[in-house]
Chain A
Amino acid sequence: MLKVIKNRWKQGYRTTKYPKEEINLYSRFRGLPTVHQDCDKKLVRECAEACPQQAIDIDKMVIDIGRCTFCGQCEIQSQGKFVTFSNNFELGTSSRDALFTSGSLPALAEHSKQHFKNLFGRSLQLRQISAGGCNSCEADTNVLNTPFFDLQRFGIDFVASPRHADGIHVTGPISNNMKAALFSTYEAVPAPKVVIASGCCSISGGPFWGSKDIVGDLNRLIPVDLYIPGCPPHPMTTLHALLQFFK
């Protein structure tokens, strides 16, 4: 017992005051990119050809952050002339098109549907479905339950049964072998329900694009309400998106 008290005292209070106080991630974190429109086209083409995710559109001068894994290669290759990644973790959007970005994203709070805010603003229960990814997305969603983030203080929780859920949170590129289980879980959630695609896998297939063994895009199966990009999304990206979209 004494040890329990001693450890409790030593560990202290660790929960972040976010969103009341800002959080600054270490400068090396790669968040929202800015595409420099004045960049030499030849250099842009080189970056686009080398991008392992084929996420760069040369003509429109945008990066598809629904495909990008934020590996940082194009920033290094262009020495920052084509793109620079900021440490802004606010990446969630309510439309797939908005993820093709040159440096700004629509304010998520204004684009979310008012009826979701009315329905789920005070209490949101989600069923997580892991469908073929690498488990980092799941891991960095799970950490929202650790004391630092303490997701439950916002009335948001991940639940075991889809019957108790208000929606699904999907990670992974939807392997063919998970398609049936994904559908039955989705169907078991009572309507009205919300669908969240988390990580570039569920948005575009992620690192596994082109594989015959995956679906590669959740929106092709079920209409997606909220997109959370990243590989995986930083826990702050997820937290920000959930708060903006539902609160």
Chain B
Amino acid sequence: MDNFLHIQNGQVVSRADIPDLDFSIFQEAVLNATRHSGFVVQFFAYTDEQSILKLITVIRAGLDLYTAGCSLADEYPSLTPECEKFHMFEREIAEQFGAHPKNHPWLKMVRYHENCRGKKDVFGNDYSHDIPGNYPYFTVDGDAIHEVAVGPVHAGIIEPGHFRFQCAGEEVLSLEIQLGYQHRGVEKLLEQAEQPLTRLPTIVESIAGDTAIGHSLCHSQAIEALAGLKVNDGAKVVRTIALELERISNHVGDLGALSGDVAFNPPLNYFGRIRGEFLNMLLTLAGNRFGKGLVRPGGIVFPVLEEQRRIVRDKVAEETPGIADVCDLLFSAHTVLARFEHTGTVPRNTAEKLGLVGFAGRASGLSYDARITFPTEAYAQLEANKNKRTVGDVYSRANVRREEIMHSLQSITDLLRQDIDAAPIAVPAYHTLAPDSFVVTINEAWRGEVSHCMLTDKNGSILRYKVKDPSFHNWTGLAMSLRNQGISDFPLCNKSFNLSYCGFDL
């Protein structure tokens, strides 16, 4: 990574300092890094002030982050045949900017929308048609093969997406997942010119509502870096607690849902209620059950004083034994274990090749946790978590979540022991961003690595706003977990990942 710039999480760098490499040199360096232990945090395109199409990447290798860029031609040799980690990123660039990665092994749309440069559509789609219809679905031929199509509207209160299974009897040979139905143009909205920055937090909180805190933190930290704002220690503690409450509520809810999927109803109902208690704790801090409204650039909007701390402290203490009991009930039931174990396995080498992140990555033996590797807020003070079973099956993903819940409960208790009053910031606050700058922020939200990246122009306006939800990496993991599984195990595998449609679709 000699020709890359070494950067820190949330550090402002001048765009001029980012190495602008020759494409072939760039490609070789990126591939060298990612073929081994490097992972892609960001890999996106933008048009610069001279209307030249540029590519920028952020790579993480061990404890370090590196960045570099290059110019991008309308056609370029794809990196994906050499390294799968780029497959979705290259498709995204093709869709957003109409740049064609030659020899991409499976070039198809990501979210079904026109590119922003008015270039000929790479996928040959006609967007005057409402329905995202033109999918080049993968098919398996043969007399015994049948195809199952599910969605976009599913049987339940759940987001839309299309799943296409190729099965031999009950066995799934291949699952293809096509999303895009939730696409609402988030990045374009964030990049709108002449728009006050004060609108952005409201949009960012709704990239994925179950990750409202995770995305808000990435956004706020980026603005804080570009505007040179300092966040007080009390607010950092509250923001950390909020992210952990978000983690617990989602993990608890999903463990309940997993239990429901194997027809063991008591934990479904207990965890369903307990999840609500944690959403109510977020309401105690934010006035909103998803924590919306709490985090803004510069700190937090509502004071968190002894009263709020007491409510959260007491509730956490009250619920902890019950959570441990219900976990014990779930994980010691034979019927549950029989369904969880050896189901939907994503082995470590597959996870590594695809670059899975978050609890799903950890359940497959990739220990990366951004709370430890790139700590923000108050995370440097907290103990790291450890995972026991990491063989990549449903059991591992469930058990990692169980471990994370217990770890988060302890972290919140520890943080609340500090008893610091957290003063709010005044809103609305208008900030000026550093011109011609670049910043990348990373946080470990409950699903994994959330990252935002901002580029400003010479007036300090936003030139490019790139959002990455962990689901962008992990949907492919779900597809892989279904290989050679019974199709009836799909709900279970799906819930064990519980990926975001809207976070992916943007």
Q: Do A and B bind each other?
A: yes
Is the pair B286, A132 in contact by a Cβ cutoff of 8 Å? no
Is the pair A213, B184 in contact by a Cβ cutoff of 8 Å? yes
Closest Cβ of chain A to B237, distance in Å, is 18
Neighbouring B residues of A142 by C-beta, 8 Å:
157
B472 at the binding interface (Cβ < 8 Å):
no
Is the pair B284, A141 in contact by a Cβ cutoff of 8 Å? no
Is the pair A232, B290 in contact by a Cβ cutoff of 8 Å? yes
Is the pair B428, A73 in contact by a Cβ cutoff of 8 Å? yes
A185 at the binding interface (Cβ < 8 Å):
yes
CA distance A76 to B371 in the complex (A): 32
CA distance A43 to B212 in the complex (A): 30
Neighbouring A residues of B206 by C-beta, 8 Å:
133-134, 136, 201, 206-208, 231
Given that A3-B329, A128-B157, A143-B272 are contacting pairs, would A212 and B301 also be in contact in the complex, using a CB cutoff of 8 Å? no
Is the pair B185, A134 in contact by a Cβ cutoff of 8 Å? no
Is the pair A213, B113 in contact by a Cβ cutoff of 8 Å? yes
Neighbouring B residues of A141 by C-beta, 8 Å:
157
Give the contact stretch, choosing among A33-41, A92-100, A113-121, A169-177. Answer: A169-177
Give the contact stretch, choosing among A21-29, A58-66, A104-112. Answer: A21-29
Neighbouring B residues of A8 by C-beta, 8 Å:
266
B64 at the binding interface (Cβ < 8 Å):
no
Is the pair A211, B202 in contact by a Cβ cutoff of 8 Å? no
Is the pair B160, A146 in contact by a Cβ cutoff of 8 Å? no
- Choose one: B184, B208, B283; the contact of A135 (CB below 8 Å): B208
Interface centre among A8, A145, A158, A177 (most CB of B within 10 A): A177
A125 at the binding interface (Cβ < 8 Å):
no
Closest Cβ of chain B to A146, distance in Å, is 4
Is the pair A3, B183 in contact by a Cβ cutoff of 8 Å? no
A-B CB pair tally, cutoff 8 Å: 205
B271-295 contact mask (Cβ, 8 Å, vs A): 1 or 0 = 0110110011001111111101100
Closest Cβ of chain A to B129, distance in Å, is 9
- Choose one: B132, B185, B322, B500; the contact of A213 (CB below 8 Å): B185
Given that A177-B180, A181-B152, A208-B184 are contacting pairs, would A133 and B202 also be in contact in the complex, using a CB cutoff of 8 Å? no
- Choose one: A52, A76, A231; the contact of B198 (CB below 8 Å): A52
Interface centre among A28, A85, A142 (most CB of B within 10 A): A28
A244 at the binding interface (Cβ < 8 Å):
no
Given that A143-B272, A172-B182, A180-B130 are contacting pairs, would A71 and B202 also be in contact in the complex, using a CB cutoff of 8 Å? yes
Interface centre among A10, A73, A139, A161 (most CB of B within 10 A): A139
- Choose one: B301, B326, B328; the contact of A76 (CB below 8 Å): B301
Is the pair B152, A208 in contact by a Cβ cutoff of 8 Å? no
Is the pair B276, A77 in contact by a Cβ cutoff of 8 Å? no
CB contact list, A39-79 vs B, under 8 A? 50, 52-53, 69-73, 76-77
CA distance A137 to B210 in the complex (A): 10
Neighbouring A residues of B157 by C-beta, 8 Å:
128, 130, 138, 141-142, 158
Neighbouring B residues of A210 by C-beta, 8 Å:
189, 192
B477 at the binding interface (Cβ < 8 Å):
no
Is the pair B280, A178 in contact by a Cβ cutoff of 8 Å? no
Is the pair B273, A147 in contact by a Cβ cutoff of 8 Å? yes
CA distance A179 to B501 in the complex (A): 16
B63 at the binding interface (Cβ < 8 Å):
no
Closest Cβ of chain B to A196, distance in Å, is 13
CA distance A70 to B207 in the complex (A): 17
Given that A134-B206, A147-B273, A160-B156 are contacting pairs, would A175 and B322 also be in contact in the complex, using a CB cutoff of 8 Å? no
CA distance A211 to B199 in the complex (A): 13
Is the pair B152, A69 in contact by a Cβ cutoff of 8 Å? no
A30 at the binding interface (Cβ < 8 Å):
yes
Is the pair A175, B158 in contact by a Cβ cutoff of 8 Å? no
**Nearest 3 Cβ contacts at the A-B interface:** A136-B209, A160-B155, A134-B209
**Apart from A25-B283, A52-B198, what 20 extra A-B contacts exist at CB < 8 Å?**
A8-B266, A52-B201, A53-B202, A73-B428, A77-B427, A132-B183, A133-B206, A133-B502, A135-B501, A136-B210, A146-B275, A160-B155, A177-B131, A181-B160, A207-B206, A208-B184, A208-B185, A210-B189, A212-B188, A232-B289
The chain A residues found within 8 Å of chain B, CB to CB, are 3-4, 6-8, 10-11, 14, 25-26, 28-30, 50, 52-53, 69-73, 76-77, 85, 128-143, 145-148, 158, 160-161, 172-173, 175-181, 185, 201, 206-208, 210-214, 231-232, 234
21 contacts between A and B (CB under 8 A): A26-B284, A28-B283, A28-B286, A28-B308, A50-B198, A52-B199, A69-B202, A69-B292, A72-B293, A76-B424, A132-B502, A134-B502, A136-B290, A138-B157, A138-B159, A146-B273, A172-B184, A178-B152, A180-B131, A201-B206, A211-B185
